Structure 1
Amino acid sequence: MALLTSATATLTAATAVADEVTIAVASNFTAPMQAIAARYEATSNHKIKMAFGSSGKIYAQIRHGAPFDAFFSADQEKTARLISEGLAETDSLITYAEGKLVLWSTHSDLVDNSGTILKTTRFNKLALANPKLAPYGAAAQQVLHNMHLDADTRSRWVQGENISQTYQFAASGNADLGFVALSQVMRNGEIVEGSAWIVPQSLYTPIKQDAVVLKRAADNPALAEFWAFIQGPQARAIMAAYGYSAVQGEHSHAE
């Protein structure tokens, strides 16, 4: 009886672990992932725990043993590295979304539909994410370089550690302008406040965002179910409402 009780307790504990998924998510995808996880949990008995941060910092944490089951990066480079280093499952790799960069201000009349403000001195600080840690920061730097404005604006840059901090600089008024993720200022296909310029794709490398299952969670049934959900129509609709484009047919392993 004692042996049976012990075995039952062990099985119960294992089931509890399998029913919970811990994912690390790039900051730009915070709001969409929160909405997606809530929708998923409404129809599943599994739970999604989330940690948010810059892709660079999350990558470093995973390499140092952070207990994440999956990683939703803001680029494709870091997930590829984890696979090459034997820390992630090759067959799990998906490109779940393509992000868009926007120049945004809380001031309703500051940003026009061509980003003209960047060529003037009518702003105090320009917020952008650290390009070494955050893909959206690297994209912002590309935009300024391609517009031949990096030298002229550099003295007014203020860098956030990740895109969430960058958004806070602009939202709080500590910076008049900020290069942020469109998902941070768009709801249901509309800019929620202020003024914005959705940066043309010709000015920066497409921000294709990959996700991967880490080795420690290769056999987690709850994660397998969520992996299918994130590529399904409900999740896609939520992403679109936040300004993300779905990337069909690339790295997709959903049935």
Structure 2
Amino acid sequence: MKAGKADGNVYPLVVSNFILRTTLFLVLIQITAPVRVSAAGGQNELRQTASHQKAALRIAVASNFALTARALANDYESQSANRVVIISGSTGKHYAQIINGAPFDIFLAADTLRPALLEEEGFIDTGTRRTYAIGRLVLWSAKSGIVDEEGHILERLDQYRIAVANERLAPYGVAAREVISGAQHWNQMRDSLIRGENISQVYHFVASGGADAGFVALSSVINRGGDAPGAYWIIPQKLYTPIDQQAVILRSSLAAIDFMAYLGSEDAKAIISTSGYRVPQ
């Protein structure tokens, strides 16, 4: 057997090969070992990493939040290489699409019920469900003389063509029903109400004259380049259950985690607040 010399000692070549293979193995372990970040700096490092890795995020958004979501997306894209695609629709319809395999990365719902159901059914990234906004309901008319700031229209609500979002699909429709029921008008009006699939349709009904007034989100009337025509009444919170709107990650990725971190930032909260929502403390 051939041998080599080292420091005056003779070692079999097979031993040298063993040492070489062992060294290479240890180097490979170091190269392929998973990267861990500290708890203190982890979120910042994830945001920095995600912001430099271009990705397209598909975000399902409740109709009432669509305009605000677009403003948030524009601000987020100015800070990140990631691109955001907004898909607007009713919360109930999005829920049905998600459980049937729709390829959304994040869901911004208009309630807590559907996100909770998705969590129970295993459709979300565990631990990501949280409230991002609290909606405010208004009764709006594009015509003058119908709605006043004191809400006197509630006393004569059954005299008008009123539009509401479908309460089976849209949380703002549920809130509208609570207000109408509280004013003792639900039984006589339930069959004559003009129902839209979502808040956007309700806004369209009122804006086009198809309805005299409609229950919409405050954001719907202040987010369109100035206040909408006519007048609106901001309905007191005591007349309906708070509309807590929750977000969840459906498909986990660095980009999705990064956007959710942005959603809780002060920049995002400022946009949400000026759009007519309350923000969770």
**TM-score interval w.r.t. the shorter chain?**
0.7 to 0.9
CA distance in 1, matches of 2:205, 2:154: 17
Counterpart contact for 2:90–2:169, Cα < 8 Å: yes
> Which amino acid counterpart does residue 30 of structure 1 have in structure 2?
A
Q: 1:17, CA displacement in angstroms?
A: 9.1
Q: CA separation of 1:176/1:123 partners in 2, compared to 1, >3 Å: closer, same or farther?
A: farther
RMSD (Å), alpha carbons:
2.0
CA distance in 2, matches of 1:39, 1:140: 32
Q: Which runs of 5+ in 1 are unaligned?
A: 1-15, 249-255
2:280 aligned counterpart, secondary structure: coil
Counterpart contact for 1:20–1:48, Cα < 8 Å: yes
Q: 2:271 aligned with 1:235, yes or no?
A: no
**Percent identity between the aligned chains?**
45
Q: 1:133 aligns with which of 169, 172, 186?
A: 169
1:60 aligned counterpart, secondary structure: helix
Q: CA separation of 1:56/1:201 partners in 2, compared to 1, >3 Å: closer, same or farther?
A: same
Q: 2:226 aligned with 1:226, yes or no?
A: no
Counterpart contact for 1:18–1:221, Cα < 8 Å: no
Q: Which runs of 5+ in 2 are unaligned?
A: 1-51
Q: CA separation of 1:43/1:87 partners in 2, compared to 1, >3 Å: closer, same or farther?
A: same
Q: Based on CA coordinates, which of the two structures has the bigger radius of gyration? A: 2
Q: Paired residues, what number?
A: 230
Q: 2:124 aligned with 1:91, yes or no?
A: no
Q: CA separation of 1:26/1:149 partners in 2, compared to 1, >3 Å: closer, same or farther?
A: same
Q: CA separation of 1:116/1:69 partners in 2, compared to 1, >3 Å: closer, same or farther?
A: same
Higher RCO, Cα 8 Å, sep 6+: 1
CA distance in 2, matches of 1:62, 1:154: 30
TM-score normalised by length of structure 2: 0.77
Q: 2:99 aligned with 1:66, yes or no?
A: no
Q: 2:74 aligns with which of 31, 35, 38?
A: 38
Q: Deviations over 1:69-121 (max 9, x none)?
A: 11110000000000100110221111000001000001133211232223227
Question: Which piece of structure 1 moves more, 106-115 or 74-83?
Answer: 106-115
Name 2:60's counterpart in structure 1. 24
